[in-house]
Amino acid sequence: MSRQYTNLQPHARDSLELASLASSSSGRRTSSSSSRSGIASSRKLSLEQDDPLDDRNPAANPRGGHARSYSVSSVFDFSSNIFPLSSSTGNGYAPIGAPISSTNPQTALGGATLEKNKTLTYMNGLSLIVGLIIGSGIFSSPSQVNSNAGSPGASLIVWAIAGILAWTGGASYAELGGAIPLNGGAQVYLSKIFGEIWGFLFTWCAVVVLKPGSTAIIAIIMGEYLVRAGIGADAENVSAWINKSVALIGLILVTFLNCVSTRLGTKMGDMFMFLKFVALLGITVVGIVVAITGFSTTGPANQDWRTKGWFEGTSTSASSWAVALYAGLWAFDGWDNTNYVVGEFRNPTRDLPRVIHTAMPLVILSYILANIAYFFVLPLKTINSTNTVAVMFGSKVFGPIGSLILALIVSLSCFGALNATTFTSGRLVYVAGKEGYLPSVFGKIGIGSMTEPHATTLRTRNWASKRMARMFGDEETGLFFTPVYAMVLNALLTALYILVGEFGTLVTFYGVAGYTFYFMTVLGLIILRVREPNLERPYRTWITTPIIFCCVSLFLLSRAVFAEPVQTLIVVAFVAAGVPVYYWRIWGRDKGSKREGSGGGGWKFWRRIRS
């Protein structure tokens, strides 16, 4: 028996009821009374294990075992905020299992969906979070934290505090992911708690700016370090277009590999995760050896850590500490990565919390140990003035060969981060296509009119296709059973940002828009605690955890607003521009749904429940 169906209370409403049983009161009221935020699309949970309407599912048969109440008399009525999985047939709603549009059968439950083919494991989730958090920052420029904290000891404290605060956000998202186990992350949570428009605005910002912009930064840094590894110190004089060309090649390669299969993308993520931990462990060990032996190939070893106090020069300015904490939190960004793919986990209620509570302490410890190693080898003044600290670390200890090795490690780390963000960004675009926020083609799986592979299809493959599928494809679905069109769109937008290459405003955009949605999402967790106390939560974090994170988010927002007021207004204007786009997209989606549902003979969800 699935864990989420054990020990259900008679009046409890678990995560699957929240996701699929939109309203049993539809029989008492006409669907025209539903709020506009309740307009439905038909992306659904897996039929194999999670479908509340499956006869094999205990929740679908109240006569056997504990009876369940399907009342919506709760203080917080989800019926108007449950848009993705609502089930009434009027006013634009689509019944469960039916496509929104007859021309787009893939939006139906019977079409090809990622959620019906659960392949992700605990290790895959761990590699997604670690893969994106550990990108280039800890290898290239921890100077923002160190220089503002003022001393090595103070900077280590900032790194620890920033990691713990980011951990509070991850723990909050773990509870939301267990209660609402669907792909899409914040888009789904905001839509269900605050209304569909907030989920759309998050998607508007994330798909157009946040995801492709941050991916472009990772790709360009990867290109710069790869070029540095190839031509050495002369890389400083190389044209920026060479770096961008390498970045584009890396982007195309990682996008193609993730289009081939989910398995290939996750295997790459697992491999790069271990590479990153090995690299950070190696830096730590080398730093300790240098501290003990004084070994150095270029001049005398650094003695600052011996002769100066670790807290000497600590800043007394609250503003400097705030900037240091801000930079530290940026270095830990990416903890929400796994929530975009919760619907593809084999056991999300078990694995999602485990992933968060394994990844965050490992990353925090790795960051602290790596910084200690830097302090052992390099003078604080050098660390604070360079944006290639790992390369300088390698050069100081091993000479030119050390700088070459470290440059390669940083570029490979960035490639791993590029893989992780491509994997999850594609899922976000895919969910947006399923919900009607983007053209339906971006909600399709595979190429052309691909549907679920059947046994007969698998048997008729030629020998080469079977061999390729066994080597690189997913176990049940083979090759290219991925959101190909969604990932291509994300790659095109990312390529545009790489070519433009202007990221100054993007930092402010991320600080304002990104943390506004972080704040609202985690605030939504607190709202659910108050309004839906009986909602089944496989994982439940301490209530102080989301409160702390909300305070941190407000701090980051206020700093961004006061530091860059003009750019903040630009960000607000961009977010506001998404409102008319929302009504345009949803009006078109609903108009089509109403036209196709006007026959009135649609299958009624509650008939199955009461039969």
pLDDT value, residue 510: 78
pLDDT value, residue 504: 66
Find the radius of gyration of the CA atoms of the chain: 25
- The predicted model scores a pTM of 0.77
Q: Where are the domains of the chain?
A: 122-446+473-592
Q: What is the pLDDT of residues 324-350, one digit of tens each?
A: 888 888 889 889 989 999 988 988 889
pLDDT value, residue 594: 53
Q: What is the pLDDT of residues 2-36, one digit of tens each?
A: 344 334 344 444 444 444 433 333 334 333 333 33
By C-alpha distance, which of 609, 535, 542 is closest to 181? 535
pLDDT value, residue 37: 37
| For the chain, the helix, strand and coil percentages under 3-state DSSP, each to the nearest 5 | 70, 0, 30
pLDDT value, residue 599: 42
* Burial (CB count within 10 angstroms: exposed 0-12, middle 13-18, buried 19+), residue 490: buried
pLDDT value, residue 515: 87
**How many angstroms separate the Cα of 352 from the Cα of each of 342, 356, 422, 518, 533?**
8, 6, 20, 18, 21
pLDDT value, residue 235: 65
Asked if 324 and 145 touch (Cβ cutoff 8 Å), the reply is yes
The residue ranges of the chain whose pLDDT is under 70 are 1-112, 233-236, 448-478, 502-505, 588, 590-611
Fold of the domain built from segment(s) 122-446+473-592:
Amino acid/polyamine transporter I (1.20.1740)
* Burial (CB count within 10 angstroms: exposed 0-12, middle 13-18, buried 19+), residue 416: buried
